[in-house]
Amino acid sequence: MTRYTAPVKDMQFLLQDVLKVTEAGIPGYEDLDAGFTAAVLEEAGKVASDVLEPLNSVGDQIGCVLENGVVRTPDGFKPAFAAMKEGGWTALDCDPDYGGQGLPYVMGTAVGEIFVSANMAFNMYQGLTHGAYSAIHAHGTAEQKATYLPKMVSCDWTGTMNLTEPHCGTDLGLLRTKAEPQADGSYKITGQKIFISAGEHDLAENIIHLVLAKAPGGGEGTKGISLFIVPKFMVNADGSLGARNPVSVGKIEDKMGIHGNATCVLNYDGATGFLLGELHKGMRAMFTMMNEARLGVGLQGYAVAEAAYQNALDYAKDRLQGRDVTGVKNTTGPADPLIVHPDIRRNLMDQKSFVEGARALTFWGASLIDRHRRMDDAAADGLIGLLTPVIKGFQTDKGFDMAVQAQQIYGGHGYIEEWGMSQFVRDARIAMIYEGANGVQALDLVGRKLATDGGKHVMAFFEMVKAECKAHDSDDRMKPFTEALKLASKQMQQAGMFFMQNGMKNPNAALAGSYDFMHLMGHVCLGLMWTRMAKAALTALDAGAADKTFYETKIATGRYYMARHMPACALHLARIETGADPVMALAAEAF
């Protein structure tokens, strides 16, 4: 009952008008001219609409099934996965040395959005493979890379990340999975991992598990953790598959959503593992992938909201109910379409202005990753480190809220599974939880990222916002943007000051406001994005762009965000400034 069309025009606007990729000076970006990027996005859009989207509800309804230790993915997933591999989509931004196409990460991000919008659960199989690929690419030996990467680039083999155990998720220092060194340099891995997405399935010949475990001699807590490669099937010297490694599925979870992806309990019973990166430095190896993985989850937040929005918009235009209070619009029909009603508009504009802002932030974030990787730009690395918890936490919170709002437009039909809106809500919910629950993102932001390198990156961020506002000083048309952004940035600085002044005495005074700060900064980021988008749109209009309506719509959508969402910054600041007292007033027993 749902449909999806890739928002190619909006993406092109970001790449060509806002990020101006060909002029950005990032190696590889010079090839991203408008014709090329449009061709890639349109082709991805076809795969998404024709192949992935029709399987989205199938995956939700059928789900994955575990029988005799084998997981069957939903009907149609196998041929669709084959089509993705054949089209080269799994290799898009991978290293050409291992069979990748070597496109910049920003292109992988744009295409990724399209696939996630069409079918989030399905796209996780290759998304997780990409994460494991990146870890091996960054930390593997030459032999490991040669052994695993080509097969992972093609998705003949898929990958997983194994962190969580039944008694520990956030607090990985507690983990119990053991790695015992063997005479041949390998390790025997023993323990139980839970919540392993794509942990077992029938889409690939082999599955490469990356597993956090404790090897002897590493000490207590997270210090003693190492990262291991544990293939489902051992790989022979000639690359052929050998014996089955003793890692088995205990069960697959019955979840609220993303039914098309198998979330597994994996039992490692002395499975053979190979150290990836340095011994006892597994956490560091994990963290180098964190920005990418969390950016990917932040993308899921708005990508699912985009799909929900497209359908809600269709419904709002089709469904006849009530009359426009300012005068009948649909004179030949029994009622006007929902979209005439101001409260429906409010709802749709909330969705539209969020999704487009979040897309801009995510694409910008991806370009920072490219800048770091391709130019070794430390400032870009510091900035994306600061933005990552915001992109992950803020965008998944809001993305979920927007999916709920999209569902609301359907009235009672939104609650009926057949219409597909419930799935968007249920699927979007997980993004707030996994890859570090959003409270942990807030903690990372306030407890760590603000102070990284002596606060250098957040200061650079403020300078960037200031410079952006200053650059448009002479353009009155930009005032609704720059004024709201300036105010919000000031409020964010004030919140930062509050943390500094009070957090030293009592860390809880800062931590009690961490969640609000994440949202406050999220609005500042989206305000910055809308300022840039508005300027790009005005520039295009000034240059006599053909599609006036498109650019005028961008500006109006941005003005909505500035007028109706940026005032949330004052609320977040007010909450932050209440400090620890209201939050911590009760003894635990008094609850």
What is the distance between the alpha carbons of residues 22 and 10, in angstroms, rounded to a whole number? 17
What tokens were used for 204?
């690939």
User: Which of 3, 20, 167, 477 forms a contact with a second copy (CB under 8 A)?
Assistant: 167
Rank residues 39 and 570 by Cβ distance to a second copy and give the closer one.
Answer: 570
Binding to a second copy (CB under 8 A): which residues in 25-84? none
Q: Is 412 in the site for a second copy (CB under 8 A)?
A: yes
- Signed CA dihedral, 326, 331, 333, 339: sign only: negative
Q: Within 13 Å and on the Cβ side, how many CA atoms surround 406?
A: 32
Pairing, β 157-162 against β 206-214: parallel
3-class secondary-structure state, position 339: helix
**Residue 529 beta carbon to a second copy: minimum distance, rounded to whole angstroms:** 17
DSSP assignment of 477-515, as one string? Answer: GGHHHHHHHHHHHHHHHHHHHHHHHHHTT-HHHHHTTHH
User: Which of 49, 248, 508, 539 forms a contact with a second copy (CB under 8 A)?
Assistant: 508
Task: List the catalytic residue out of 278, 435, 483, 589.
Answer: 435
What is the distance between the alpha carbons of residues 280 and 219, in angstroms, rounded to a whole number? 9
Q: Is 331 in the site for a second copy (CB under 8 A)?
A: no
**Residue 305 beta carbon to a second copy: minimum distance, rounded to whole angstroms:** 15
CB neighbours of residue 153 within 10 Å: 26
What tokens were used for 144?
């490991």
What DSSP element (H or E) covers 108?
A: helix 105-118
Q: Which of these segments, 47-55, 95-103, 234-242, 412-420, binds a second copy (CB under 8 A)?
A: 412-420
Binding to a second copy (CB under 8 A): which residues in 418-447? 418, 422, 425-426, 429-430, 432-434, 437-439, 442-443, 447
Integer angstrom CA distances of residue 478 from 47, 415, 462, 482, 559: 38, 41, 19, 6, 10
**Residue 137 beta carbon to a second copy: minimum distance, rounded to whole angstroms:** 27
Q: Which has the closest alpha carbon to 151: 53, 52, 42, 229?
A: 229
Q: Is 570 in the site for a second copy (CB under 8 A)?
A: yes
Rank residues 387 and 421 by Cβ distance to a second copy and give the closer one.
Answer: 421
User: Which of 4, 89, 515, 530 forms a contact with a second copy (CB under 8 A)?
Assistant: 515
User: Which of 183, 237, 546, 590 forms a contact with a second copy (CB under 8 A)?
Assistant: 590
Q: Which has the closest alpha carbon to 440: 168, 165, 113?
A: 168
Rank residues 27 and 582 by Cβ distance to a second copy and give the closer one.
Answer: 582
Contact between 396 and 432 under an 8 Å Cβ cutoff? The reply is yes
Contact between 408 and 463 under an 8 Å Cβ cutoff? The reply is no
Q: Is 154 in the site for a second copy (CB under 8 A)?
A: no
Q: Is 250 in the site for a second copy (CB under 8 A)?
A: no
**Residue 63 beta carbon to a second copy: minimum distance, rounded to whole angstroms:** 11
Q: Is 487 in the site for a second copy (CB under 8 A)?
A: no
**Residue 338 beta carbon to a second copy: minimum distance, rounded to whole angstroms:** 9
Q: Which of these segments, 234-242, 519-527, 535-543, 558-566, binds a second copy (CB under 8 A)?
A: 558-566
Q: Which residues of 1-23 are buried (b: 16+ CB within 10 A; e: fewer)?
A: ebebebbbebbbbbbbbbbebbe
DSSP assignment of 156-189, as one string? Answer: SEEEEEE--BTTBSS-GGG---EEEE-TTS-EEE
Pairing, β 206-214 against β 70-72: unpaired
* Catalytic site includes residue 577: no
Q: Is 451 in the site for a second copy (CB under 8 A)?
A: no
Q: Is 486 in the site for a second copy (CB under 8 A)?
A: no
Rank residues 141 and 501 by Cβ distance to a second copy and give the closer one.
Answer: 501
Q: Which of these segments, 10-18, 112-120, 318-326, 469-477, binds a second copy (CB under 8 A)?
A: 318-326
**Residue 581 beta carbon to a second copy: minimum distance, rounded to whole angstroms:** 8
Q: Is 415 in the site for a second copy (CB under 8 A)?
A: yes
Q: Is 255 in the site for a second copy (CB under 8 A)?
A: yes
Rank residues 93 and 165 by Cβ distance to a second copy and give the closer one.
Answer: 165
Tokens 């700060």 correspond to: 517
Q: Which of these segments, 44-52, 70-78, 88-96, 314-322, binds a second copy (CB under 8 A)?
A: 314-322
Rank residues 238 and 254 by Cβ distance to a second copy and give the closer one.
Answer: 254
Q: Is 321 in the site for a second copy (CB under 8 A)?
A: yes
Q: Is 553 in the site for a second copy (CB under 8 A)?
A: yes
**Residues touching a second copy: how many (CB under 8 A)?**
94
Q: Is 417 in the site for a second copy (CB under 8 A)?
A: yes
Q: Is 332 in the site for a second copy (CB under 8 A)?
A: no
Q: Is 343 in the site for a second copy (CB under 8 A)?
A: yes
Q: Residue 221 burial (CB < 10 Å; 0-12/13-18/19+)?
A: middle
What tokens were used for 2?
């749902």
User: Which of 30, 171, 473, 483 forms a contact with a second copy (CB under 8 A)?
Assistant: 171
Contact between 153 and 91 under an 8 Å Cβ cutoff? The reply is yes
- Signed CA dihedral, 484, 485, 486, 490: sign only: positive
Q: Is 317 in the site for a second copy (CB under 8 A)?
A: yes
**Residue 329 beta carbon to a second copy: minimum distance, rounded to whole angstroms:** 8
Q: Is 541 in the site for a second copy (CB under 8 A)?
A: no
User: Which of 34, 39, 416, 500 forms a contact with a second copy (CB under 8 A)?
Assistant: 416
What is the distance between the alpha carbons of residues 12 and 23, in angstroms, rounded to a whole number? 15
Q: Is 532 in the site for a second copy (CB under 8 A)?
A: no
Residues pairing with 67 in the sheet: 70
Greatest C-alpha distance within the chain: 83
What is the distance between the alpha carbons of residues 472 and 549, in angstroms, rounded to a whole number? 22
Q: Is 571 in the site for a second copy (CB under 8 A)?
A: yes
Rank residues 387 and 431 by Cβ distance to a second copy and give the closer one.
Answer: 431
**Residue 333 beta carbon to a second copy: minimum distance, rounded to whole angstroms:** 10
What tokens were used for 139?
């930390």
**Residue 316 beta carbon to a second copy: minimum distance, rounded to whole angstroms:** 8
Residues belonging to the active site? 435
